[in-house]
Amino acid sequence: MPDPNDSLSELYHSTPSPRSPAALDETILKMAADHAPRANRRTPGWLPLASAASVVGLVSLLFHQMAGLPTSTDRAHAPTVIVQESQLQPAASRVDGFTGKVRAAPQAEPIEVSGALQSHNDEAMEPEAIITAADAVSKTLSAAPSAAQYQQPSIESQEPSARKIEERSAMEAVAPALKQQRAESRSHESLRATGELDMDATPADDAVNAEQWLENIKDLLTNGDKERAIIQLQHFRAAYPEHPIPDELTRLTDAPN
């Protein structure tokens, strides 16, 4: 601030300061009014993006309503489903690493869960119904065996098609027998070639041509070793049940010893 004791300041302020001329004021105020920025020129940069997002959301909502799909409001009941999935998923993942024998999960449990879900899909559920369904899922999950006890069938139960489940179960039921037959055939092949049972026979040995095996059996028969030929033929049938067997060999086994 100017020093009041300063004689220069005193003299400077001894007369009124010059005032802005009225004509100048009028000119400037008119200029300000004429060139006033438009009110909407300072819209935030995110406003157009937000508007676009709102339009997209509205269209999506209308689409869902017209198509009869569950809206986000309907999906508010989704915790019932999410709880089920989130609790089942770790069990399934742990089963993947479990290579022991398979034990089926109780069949009634998925039915209870799906029942809860079905009631959800039918109508907008009342809060009490949601709680009941959630309780049902929770009880089902808690009553189920631990994750380590869940075996392959429980995973398979999540497959969408029951037919696939049946097919896979049938294949898995046959698989051990097939494996055993293959192993025996490999062993017998090894026995045929080396005279000793090769316990290290690998699946690569399956490449042995069935026809070649049959030729070898014929050779045994030709050489008079009928007993070994019969044994080999039995093993061959076990290993290749669908492979046609020449009549001469068929008669060999059918003929009384």
Partner 1 sequence: MGLLHRLRGDESLMELYAGGDVGAFNELYSRHKDRLFGFIYHSSSDRTAAEDLAQETWSAVIRQADSYRPTARFTTYLYTIARRKLIDQHRRSATRPVADADSDETPAATGSEPDTHLEVAQLRAAIKALPADQREAFVLREEGFSLTDIAAISDAGVETVKSRLRYARQTLRQQFSGGHRQHA
Question: Which residues in this chain contact partner 1 in the complex, by CB under 8 A?
Answer: 1-2, 6, 8-9, 11-21, 24-25, 27-29, 31-33, 35-42
CB contact at 8 A, 186 and 206: yes
Closest approach of partner 1 to the CB of residue 49, in Å: 21
Closest approach of partner 1 to the CB of residue 24, in Å: 5
Closest approach of partner 1 to the CB of residue 43, in Å: 10
Looking at beta carbons only, is 31 or 69 nearer to partner 1? 31
CB contact at 8 A, 220 and 228: yes
Looking at beta carbons only, is 18 or 176 nearer to partner 1? 18
Looking at beta carbons only, is 13 or 139 nearer to partner 1? 13
Closest approach of partner 1 to the CB of residue 121, in Å: 51
CB contact at 8 A, 89 and 142: no
Report the phi/psi class of residue 16: left, alpha or beta, with left for phi > 0 and alpha for psi in -120 to 50.
beta
Positive or negative: CA dihedral 183, 239, 164, 138: negative
The closest of 94, 97, 100, 110 to 147, measured between CA atoms, is 94
Looking at beta carbons only, is 30 or 226 nearer to partner 1? 30
Closest approach of partner 1 to the CB of residue 45, in Å: 14
Which two tokens mark 168? 């896979």
CB contact at 8 A, 249 and 214: yes
Alpha helix ranges (H) inside the chain: 7-12, 22-34, 47-67, 79-96, 108-122, 127-143, 152-156, 162-194, 210-222, 226-239, 247-254
Looking at beta carbons only, is 40 or 142 nearer to partner 1? 40
Q: Provide the 3-class DSSP secondary structure of residue 156.
A: helix
DSSP-derived secondary structure letter, 158: T
Q: Provide the 3-class DSSP secondary structure of residue 100.
A: coil
Looking at beta carbons only, is 28 or 143 nearer to partner 1? 28
Distance of alpha carbon 121 from the chain centroid: 22
Looking at beta carbons only, is 26 or 215 nearer to partner 1? 26
CB contact at 8 A, 138 and 83: yes
Closest approach of partner 1 to the CB of residue 38, in Å: 6
Closest approach of partner 1 to the CB of residue 46, in Å: 17
